[in-house]
């Protein structure tokens, strides 16, 4: 694979490394670049990284808004965007998500194909509101 200056896979990898190193500001900036991409896969990845960076930066309400966007998007399309990212590295940060741990865990489980899109949609919808997933 040839790397280009605007390669979203590079931004995704750098964003994850930044999160793992605790550099939430840099991770957030890289996430913003991914969110602006046209490909659904990178928009979801960008919002996941943004949610984690916001939670790690002690901004749980803003993190919850990003998680909510992702959940609603996945429910509305009924599937995972093609060529899904490997979210296992983010899984290592779930314990640092605070009140957003349950929602983030559910999202990562569907993105890693640990639960089906249908099971995810049911769990997300049964929560009545994504906010119900937060803090439980």
Whether pLDDT at 126 is above 80: yes
Q: In the prediction, which pLDDT does 136 show?
A: 45
**3 band by pLDDT with thresholds 50, 70 and 90:** low
pLDDT tens digit sequence for 25-62: 999 999 999 999 888 999 999 999 999 999 999 999 99
The residue extents of the domains of the chain are 8-133
Percent of the chain whose pLDDT exceeds 70: 88
59-63, 76-80, 129-133: range with highest mean pLDDT: 59-63
Q: In the prediction, which pLDDT does 80 show?
A: 79
Q: In the prediction, which pLDDT does 85 show?
A: 83
Q: In the prediction, which pLDDT does 11 show?
A: 85
DSSP per-residue codes, the chain? ----TT-HHHHHHHHHHHHHTT-HHHHHHHHHHHHTSSSHHHHHHHHHHHHHHHHHTT-HHHHHHHHHHHHHHHHHH-SPPSS---THHHHTTGGG-GGGHHHHHHHHHHHTTSS-HHHHHHHHHHTSSHHHHTT-
Whether pLDDT at 83 is above 80: no
User: What mean pLDDT, rounded, does the chain reach?
Assistant: 88
């Amino acid at each position: 694979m040839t790397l280009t200056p605007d390669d979203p896979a590079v931004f995704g990898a750098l964003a994850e490394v930044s999160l793992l190193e605790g550099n939430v500001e840099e991770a957030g900036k890289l996430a913003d670049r991914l969110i602006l991409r046209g490909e659904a896969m990178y928009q979801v990845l960008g919002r996941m990284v943004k949610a984690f960076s916001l939670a790690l930066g002690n901004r749980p309400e803003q993190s919850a808004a990003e998680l909510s966007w992702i959940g609603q998007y996945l429910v509305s399309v009924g599937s995972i965007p093609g060529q899904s990212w490997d979210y296992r590295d983010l899984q290592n940060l779930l314990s640092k998500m605070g009140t957003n741990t349950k929602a983030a865990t559910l999202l990562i489980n569907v993105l890693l194909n640990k639960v089906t899109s249908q099971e995810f949609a049911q769990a997300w919808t049964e929560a009545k509101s994504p906010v119900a997933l937060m803090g439980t």
